[in-house]
């Protein structure tokens, strides 16, 4: 029997897609917009009854995009469950590993997803508005640098994590393996190269976006801005930290309104269930849920690079600090509400992550073989919080008397941003669609509003064709479908 051959074309129906639905009013202007992602079922049930220490190996499997973030949040949750503090060398090595993950992720987002909109043009044909079109414009050499530095970050993660993806290094109280001197030397060399590459990336952003008035105007335009609360993690000196610290929240004027750690997240974050989406909608409990609206009276908050820069007083490394200052100078002071500024903020963070890896690779303690304090108590309850590339990530576990998992709650970065993503899409659509007239270029500009968050639908499935398909549907005031575009 001959084997069937399947072809994929743009209209092949694939299940499990993300959806943007835009509803127009009688005048053909935008009334409402929704962003939906597919449901994943039964994670808590899947975990129940398993030994707590298995969680850092299970949770990275949730997502093919940021397994390292889940691994680290999970490992930190176990530290708290077992009541054990890792030695300093282990904390530094975890942070080094984690900053390498940020480098890996931020490079991919900027070059594959963000830059084509600006380098090739926001309303350019999708046939050229992609990473291949980008390479054509910026040159093969830069393309090779992109791949090389992603591979460096991957190599560092594999060295410490034990595997290239789905790391196995994190244990309650520390890590499974210390860093050898020859590995440290290799990390230092690669980190130095990553710092240069991050600076080059900021230079490209400067040339491609900041030196063009129309793009600066686009970034700062009202229809790409929502005025929300912001959340992000800061160190003891109130500077951005991805691995550990306090979770800080500022209001739309930039004033600090909350600072918390661990289990206290329950006092600050409420999770709302909406009838039209499977993904919960978190909000700030103390402000309250007022619907999908912005302003100081609404508990909607944002996470991700822009939010992190907005909440912090600065960056902990010198070159990133300079870029941080320039960022707020050019964009008119803190906080910045321009959603598209996430791309720039992401590059500032790329530079910080590279500088931090370099700094840690030169730290005298980094090769210390004492990388674990053995837990001696039974696991009870714990919360692990990290800044994933796409924003704050919470893992909360509770165990039964035998140390088996009883309950699990995860709040993922794209979940935190859910309400704000819906609002950003609606506002962009309202600003761009007039009298029911809409074309592909406009739709891409609407998509740009949500792409800036680097929303991760990858938590769902990896089935071919290797991407989460996306549908944009537009309905008229009678609820009849006017257009449907598939990406």
Partner 1 sequence: MPEEVRVLVLGLGNPILTDDGVGIYVARKARSLLAGRPVEIVEASVGGLGVLDLIQGYDALVVVDSMLSEKLQPGEIAELDLDSLMKTQRLGPVHGVNFATVLALGRDLGLPVPEHVEIYVIGVRDVESFGEQCTPEVAAAVHRGAHLVKERVIAYLDHVERKKTPPYRRHGQLPKSEPSQA
Chain positions 8 to 67 lying near partner 1, rule: CB under 8 A, are: 8-10, 12-16, 18, 38-43, 45-46, 58, 61-62, 64-65, 67
Per CB under 8 A, 128 contacts partner 1: yes
Least distance to partner 1 from the beta carbon of 64, Å? 5
CB 228 within 8 A of CB 301: yes
CB 281 within 8 A of CB 394: no
Residue 466 or 479 with smaller CB distance to partner 1: 466
Per CB under 8 A, 484 contacts partner 1: no
**Count, residues near partner 1 per rule CB under 8 A:** 74
For 178, which DSSP code?
P
CA distances from 320 to 198, 350, 353, 355, 437 (A): 10, 9, 9, 8, 43
Residue 112 or 257 with smaller CB distance to partner 1: 112
Per CB under 8 A, 469 contacts partner 1: yes
Q: Using CB under 8 A, which residues numbered 90 to 109 contact partner 1? A: 108
Helices 140-161, 88-108: crossing angle, 10 deg rounding: 150
Measured CA to CA, the distance from residue 457 to residue 157 in angstroms comes to 23
Residue 183 or 447 with smaller CB distance to partner 1: 447
Given 83, 121, 126, 262, the residue binding partner 1 (CB under 8 A): 126
Given 25, 85, 147, 263, the residue binding partner 1 (CB under 8 A): 147
Q: How wide is the angle at C-alpha 256 spanned by C-alphas 255 and 257, nearest 5°?
A: 110
Handedness of CA 136, 139, 141, 147 (dihedral sign): negative
Beta bridge partner(s), residue 32: 23
CA-based nearest residue to 238, from 337, 303, 308: 308
CB 388 within 8 A of CB 131: no
Per CB under 8 A, 123 contacts partner 1: no
Which part of the chain contacts partner 1 (CB under 8 A), choosing from 146-154, 290-298, 314-322, 360-368?
A: 146-154
Given 140, 273, 329, 480, the residue binding partner 1 (CB under 8 A): 140
Residues, the chain, total?
487
Least distance to partner 1 from the beta carbon of 176, Å? 20
Measured CA to CA, the distance from residue 349 to residue 198 in angstroms comes to 9
For 13, which DSSP code?
-
Residue 130 or 430 with smaller CB distance to partner 1: 130
Which part of the chain contacts partner 1 (CB under 8 A), choosing from 294-302, 376-384, 429-437, 446-454?
A: 446-454
Measured CA to CA, the distance from residue 454 to residue 471 in angstroms comes to 17
Q: How many CB atoms lie within 10 A of CB 368?
A: 16
Residue 42 or 275 with smaller CB distance to partner 1: 42
Least distance to partner 1 from the beta carbon of 289, Å? 27
Given 276, 464, 479, 480, the residue binding partner 1 (CB under 8 A): 464
Which part of the chain contacts partner 1 (CB under 8 A), choosing from 4-12, 81-89, 302-310, 376-384?
A: 4-12
Measured CA to CA, the distance from residue 156 to residue 189 in angstroms comes to 11
Measured CA to CA, the distance from residue 75 to residue 372 in angstroms comes to 13
Q: Using CB under 8 A, which residues numbered 211 to 250 contact partner 1? A: none
Residue 83 or 143 with smaller CB distance to partner 1: 143
Measured CA to CA, the distance from residue 370 to residue 309 in angstroms comes to 34
Q: Using CB under 8 A, which residues numbered 377 to 406 contact partner 1? A: none
- Spell out where 136-175 has E strands: 170-171, 174-175
Per CB under 8 A, 162 contacts partner 1: no
Least distance to partner 1 from the beta carbon of 465, Å? 5
Given 196, 253, 407, 467, the residue binding partner 1 (CB under 8 A): 467
Residue 35 or 283 with smaller CB distance to partner 1: 35
Least distance to partner 1 from the beta carbon of 166, Å? 7
Measured CA to CA, the distance from residue 392 to residue 377 in angstroms comes to 28
CB 77 within 8 A of CB 55: yes
Give DSSP secondary structure letters for 302-327. E-SHHHHHHHSSB-SSHHHHHHHHHH
Given 421, 422, 433, 456, the residue binding partner 1 (CB under 8 A): 456
User: Helix, strand or coil for residue 163?
Assistant: coil
Residue 111 or 352 with smaller CB distance to partner 1: 111
Residue 436 or 441 with smaller CB distance to partner 1: 441
Per CB under 8 A, 121 contacts partner 1: no
Per CB under 8 A, 7 contacts partner 1: yes
Per CB under 8 A, 132 contacts partner 1: yes
Least distance to partner 1 from the beta carbon of 138, Å? 12
């Amino acid at each position: 029997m001959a084997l069937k051959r399947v072809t994929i074309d743009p209209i092949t129906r694939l299940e499990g897609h993300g959806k943007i639905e835009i509803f127009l009013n009688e005048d053909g202007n935008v009334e409402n917009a929704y962003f939906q992602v597919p449901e994943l079922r039964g994670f808590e049930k899947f975990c129940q009854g398993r030994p707590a220490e298995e969680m850092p190996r299970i949770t990275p499997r949730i997502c093919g995009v940021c397994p390292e973030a889940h691994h680290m949040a999970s490992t930190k949750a176990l530290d708290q469950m077992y009541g054990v503090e890792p030695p300093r060398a282990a904390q530094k090595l975890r942070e080094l590993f984690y900053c390498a993950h940020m480098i890996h992720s931020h490079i991919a987002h900027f070059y594959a997803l963000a830059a084509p909109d600006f380098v090739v043009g926001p309303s350019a044909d999708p046939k050229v508005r992609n990473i291949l079109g980008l390479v054509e414009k910026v040159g093969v050499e830069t393309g090779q640098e992109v791949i090389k530095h992603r591979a460096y970050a991957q190599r560092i993660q594999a060295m410490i994590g034990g595997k290239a993806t789905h790391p196995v290094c994190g244990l309650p109280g520390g890590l499974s393996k210390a860093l050898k001197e020859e590995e440290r030397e290799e990390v230092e060399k690669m980190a130095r190269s990553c710092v240069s590459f991050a600076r080059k990336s900021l230079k490209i952003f400067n040339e491609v976006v900041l030196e063009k008035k129309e793009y600066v105007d686009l970034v700062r335009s009202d229809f790409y801005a929502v005025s929300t609360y912001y959340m992000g993690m800061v160190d003891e000196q109130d500077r951005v930290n991805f691995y550990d610290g306090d979770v800080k929240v500022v209001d739309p004027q930039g004033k600090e309104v909350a600072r918390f750690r661990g289990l206290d997240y329950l006092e600050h974050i409420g999770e709302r269930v909406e009838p039209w989406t499977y993904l919960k909608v978190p909000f700030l409990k103390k402000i309250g849920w007022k619907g999908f609206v912005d302003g100081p009276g609404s508990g909607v908050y944002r996470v991700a690079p822009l939010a992190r820069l907005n909440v912090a007083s600065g960056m902990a490394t010198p070159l990133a600090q300079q870029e941080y200052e320039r960022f707020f100078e050019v964009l008119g002071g803190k906080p910045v509400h321009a959603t598209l500024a996430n791309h720039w903020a992401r590059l500032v963070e790329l530079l910080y992550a590279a500088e931090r890896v370099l700094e840690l690779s030169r730290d005298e303690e980094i090769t210390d073989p004492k990388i674990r304090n053995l837990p001696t108590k039974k696991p009870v309850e714990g919360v692990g919080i990290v800044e994933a590339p796409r924003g704050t990530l919470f893992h909360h576990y509770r165990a039964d008397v035998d140390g088996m998992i009883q309950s699990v709650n995860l709040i993922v970065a794209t979940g935190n941003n859910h309400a704000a993503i819906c609002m950003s899409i609606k506002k962009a659509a309202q600003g761009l669609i007039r009298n029911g007239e809409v074309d592909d270029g406009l739709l891409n500009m609407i998509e740009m509003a949500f792409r800036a968050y680097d929303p991760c639908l990858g938590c769902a499935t990896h089935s071919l064709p290797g991407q989460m398909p996306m549908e944009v549907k537009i309905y008229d005031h009678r609820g009849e479908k006017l257009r449907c575009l598939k990406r």
